[in-house]
Amino acid sequence: MKNAPADNRSLLDALARCVAACEYCADACLHEDNVNMMVPCIRLDRDCADICRLTAAFVARNSPHAPHVMKECIELCQKCHDECAKHQHDHCQQCAQACQECLEACRAYSEMVN
C-alpha cells in the first residue's frame, strides 16, 4: 500500500473486533425464535467477517491490493451495520456498533494512504 502508516494497529484491532462481533451475531441469530427473519442478518454477518479477515491480512502485509479490498470491506461493514441495526437483539446492536467502528477505521486509514 502506498504511503501506508507504520502503525496500523488500531485498524487491525477494529477489523478483529468486527470479525468477532459478526461471528457471534451470526451464531446468536441461529438461536432466535424466528430464524427465517434473521437469514439476511446471518448472511451479512458471515460476509462481513470474511471481508474483515481478508482486509486485515492485506493491510498487515502492506499489499498494494489492500485499497481495493478495503473498499469492499467498507461497503460490507455498512450493509451489515444497517441490517443489524434493524434488530433489537443485543448481539445485533453490538455487531452494528463494531461494524460502524470498523468502517470508520477503514475510511480513516484509506484517507491517510491516499
Domain segments of the chain: what residues? 9-113
Model confidence at 113: pLDDT above 90: no
Going by CATH, does the domain composed of 9-113 fall within 1.10.3720.10?
A: no
Q: How far is CA 94 from CA 6, 66, 71, 89, 106, in A?
A: 29, 26, 23, 9, 18
> What span, in angstroms and rounded, lies between the C-alpha atoms of 47 and 70?
14
Residue identified by cell 470498523 is: 102
Q: Tell me the pTM.
A: 0.92
Residue identified by cell 460490507 is: 76
Band of the pLDDT at 6, cuts 50, 70, 90?
low
Alpha-helical runs (H) found in the chain: 9-29, 35-60, 66-85, 90-113
Model confidence at 1: pLDDT above 50: no
The confidence score (pLDDT) of residue 4 equals 53
